[in-house]
Amino acid sequence: MNNKRRRVVTAPGCELIDGLKKDLIFQDRLLGNDLTFHTTWGLFSPRAIDEGTRLLLEYLNVGEREIVLDIGCGYGPLGLAIGRVAKQGEIHMVDKDYLAVEYANRNAEINGLGECRAYLSNGLSEVDASLRFDTVVSNIPAKVGRELLTILLCESHAQMKPGGQMVVVTINGLRDFIKRNFKQVFGNYKKLKQGKAYTVARAIRE
């Protein structure tokens, strides 16, 4: 038997892989509160809060007792920022990426936000059908597909309280689609802010 230890040859450029696999950690102030985020490569905007999320939060109003749904939560910036405000509420964060859910839950624990919970769901597929939300938020990906967007809007409307709000941020290229479909599904549409790249819009369930 050959007892010689096999030498592991590292491919060129792979010497730093251990460093790349470590968590990225940063802090930011959202909705007037300081939060710490752990992220990793492969998640959306892992090194800093993205412009769309920041813009949505700037034009979002939530109460301290609200039941909130964050669709496509990523590592949790929207849901956790809202959780700091809705301290007596309930924050549901959903994503179809297991890694995003893992980091969102970890960040909720790090920031002491026990009212925030993330779980795997393709849109609202795994959301308790009996829940009724005061606020639904989403930083909608540019390439999500218009068919899925339509599903998200209709399913969100079905699980919102009368008077509840859905607030989304999209790239400007989806602005007209959101306007048309908000009016079709909710019967109303309001543009809260249009920036250079992103638009924040709101619809109310009447």
Q: Which CATH number do you get for residue 76?
A: 3.40.50.150
Whether 35 is in a domain gets the answer no
Whether 28 is in a domain gets the answer no
What pLDDT does residue 63 have?
A: 96
Region for 82 from its dihedrals, namely left if φ exceeds 0, alpha if ψ lies in -120 to 50, beta otherwise: alpha
Region for 35 from its dihedrals, namely left if φ exceeds 0, alpha if ψ lies in -120 to 50, beta otherwise: beta
> What's the half-sphere exposure (Cβ side, CA atoms, 13 Å) at 48?
4
Whether 190 is in a domain gets the answer yes
Whether 105 is in a domain gets the answer yes
Whether 191 is in a domain gets the answer yes
Q: Is residue 14 scored above 80 in pLDDT?
A: no
Q: Which domain holds residue 149?
A: 51-204
Q: How far apart are CA 188 and CA 10, in angstroms?
A: 58
What pLDDT does residue 4 have?
A: 56
Whether 27 is in a domain gets the answer no
The helix, strand and coil proportions of the chain, stated in percent and rounded to the nearest 5, come to: 30, 30, 40
Whether 10 is in a domain gets the answer no
Q: Is residue 102 scored above 70 in pLDDT?
A: yes
What pLDDT does residue 146 have?
A: 83
Domains in the chain, number: 1
What pLDDT does residue 95 have?
A: 97
Tokens of 38: 């752990």
Q: Is residue 158 scored above 90 in pLDDT?
A: yes
What pLDDT does residue 144 have?
A: 81
Q: How confident is the model at residue 143 (pLDDT cuts 50, 70, 90)?
A: confident
> What is the chain's mean pLDDT, rounded?
93
Q: How confident is the model at residue 82 (pLDDT cuts 50, 70, 90)?
A: very high
Predicted TM-score (pTM) of this structure: 0.91
Q: Is residue 3 scored above 70 in pLDDT?
A: no
Q: How far apart are CA 149 and CA 17, in angstroms?
A: 37
What pLDDT does residue 9 have?
A: 55
Whether 13 is in a domain gets the answer no
